[in-house]
Amino acid sequence: MEKKKIKITVTGAAGNIGYALLFRLASGEAFGPDAEIDLSLLEIESALPALKGVVMELEDCAFPLLKSVVQTSDPNEGFKDADWALLVGSIPRKAGMERNDLLKVNGGIFITQGKAISNQAKPTCKILVIGNPCNTNAYIAKAFASNIPEKNIFAMTLLDQNRAAAQLAEKAGVDVSEVENIAIWGNHSATQYPDFYQATINGKPATEIIPDEKWLQTTFIETIQKRGADILSARGLSSAASAANAVVGTIRNVITPTKEGEFFSMAVSSDGSYGIEKGIMFSYPLRSDGQDWNVVTGLEHNSFSKEKIAATYAELLSEMSSVKEFLDPKQCPT
């Protein structure tokens, strides 16, 4: 059987996440053994020498599924015919910063890249934004990627979901695979709401297995909200391997039908579900049929959850309003 071919553009490919991600993409972990991979690696000019070294290492792995690698600093070349655009390239925060402090530094990248994807990528291209603040950067990219359906534009919150699963498993003393259905609502930021009320452990409500609701409402939520900052403070660098792992997992979540009764989290352009303004890049619980995704509807929220969702929504609205100037074509570089 002839294998399908997937062209993946990765920006910031010479950076930390890039180094943890490329080898997993090239090995077939994201798209499976029946897909041949063409990689297109986009970097800034000054990082091209380092990128060359990474590409030598890719060659030295002799991955049977990896068919070609482009190295470029030209977005138009980088996104040509892409099936997936993984937008990692951007500046990470430093200790003491919140992710949205990066908006002025990183936001402009997503204008240029949104336009280049729109002009060069396949019209079916899927865009996953990882560079922070990822929800609002995805919102900017969406505004400029006018040829790409808005349903194909995502920001990553699976890392938060994975972190939450690990913390719940540890508290409950169970294997992490027993924890399911953690909805991350809202922004990939310190206001995100990891919704333990929806989560299950061994098929039972997490709140039944972990009856310490005070811990769930305080320590658990704060641990997830601040996990990125805690890793940054411990490593002196932001998370990279776990972020790359979440990129692979997100791709698999989108391209694989979701198991009956389960869901996964990712930020998508709101369709108005749960009272969120249409078009806001909001993390929701989703299900995929392998081609298309839909927001899981009908989940009940108590007053605690409603308050948390309102807080993360308010932060996203404020981020959106602070980038309005970016979205005005008159103010934008071409």
Both structure tokens of 120: 């060069």
- How far is residue 151's CA from residue 44's CA, in Å, rounded to a whole number? 28
Residues 258 to 287 in contact with ligand NAD, rule: CB under 6 A: none
Q: How far is CA 294 from the centre of its chain?
A: 17
| Site track for ligand NAD across 160-199, x = CB under 6 A | ----------------------------x-----------
- Subset of 219-248 contacting ligand LMR (CB under 6 A): 228-229, 231-232, 238-239
Site string for ligand NAD, 228-257 (x = CB under 6 A): ----------xxx--x--------------
User: Using the rule CB under 6 A, is 90 a contact of ligand NAD?
Assistant: yes
Which secondary structure element, helix H or strand E, spans residue 153, and what is its range?
Answer: strand 153-155
Does 188 qualify as catalytic in the annotation? yes
Give me the least distance between CB of 228 and ligand NAD, in Å please. Answer: 7
Judged by beta carbon, residue 172 or residue 231, the one nearer ligand LMR is 231
Q: Which of 22, 30, 58, 88 binds ligand NAD (CB under 6 A)?
A: 88
Q: How near is the Cβ of 196 to ligand LMR at its closest, in Å?
A: 18
Q: Please choose, out of 63-71, 114-122, 124-132, 269-277, the segment that lies near ligand NAD by the rule CB under 6 A.
A: 124-132
Cα 145 to Cα 59: distance, rounded to the nearest angstrom = 32
> Shortest distance, CB of residue 203 to ligand NAD, whole angstroms?
28
Query: Count of residues for the chain?
Result: 334
Q: Least distance (Å) from ligand LMR to the CB of residue 140?
A: 17
Among 269, 276, 332, smallest CA distance to 309 is for: 276
Burial group, residue 27, by CB count within 10 angstroms (0-12, 13-18, 19+): middle
Closest CA to 318 of 100, 134, 157, 111: 100
Residue 93 interacts with ligand LMR (CB under 6 A): yes or no: yes
The dihedral formed by the CA atoms of 305, 309, 312 and 318, expressed in degrees to the nearest 10: -140
46 DSSP 8-state letter: G
Cα distance between residue 226 and residue 98, in whole Å: 10
Which CB atom, from 39 or from 158, has the smaller least distance to ligand LMR? 158
Prior bond of 33 cis (ω within 30°)? no
Q: Does 86 participate in binding ligand NAD (rule CB under 6 A)?
A: no
Instruction: Name which position in 25, 121, 128, 130 contacts ligand NAD (CB under 6 A).
Output: 130
Residue with the two structure tokens 């003393």: 173
Closest residue by beta carbon to ligand LMR:
228
Q: List alpha helices for 86-154, DSSP H.
A: 103-120, 134-144
Residue type, 298: G
Task: Specify the pairing of strand 200-201 against strand 204-205.
Answer: antiparallel
Among candidate residues 171, 188, 227, 287, the one labeled active-site is: 188
Q: Which does 231 bind (CB under 5 to 8 A by kind): ligand LMR, ligand NAD, none?
A: ligand LMR
Told to check if 12 binds ligand NAD by CB under 6 A, we report: yes
15's contact among ligand LMR, ligand NAD, none, with CB below 5 to 8 A by partner kind, is ligand NAD
In 15-90, where do the E strands start and end? 35-42, 66-72, 84-87
Q: Return residues touching ligand NAD (CB under 6 A).
A: 11-12, 14-18, 42-44, 47, 88-93, 109, 130-132, 134, 156, 159, 188, 238-240, 243
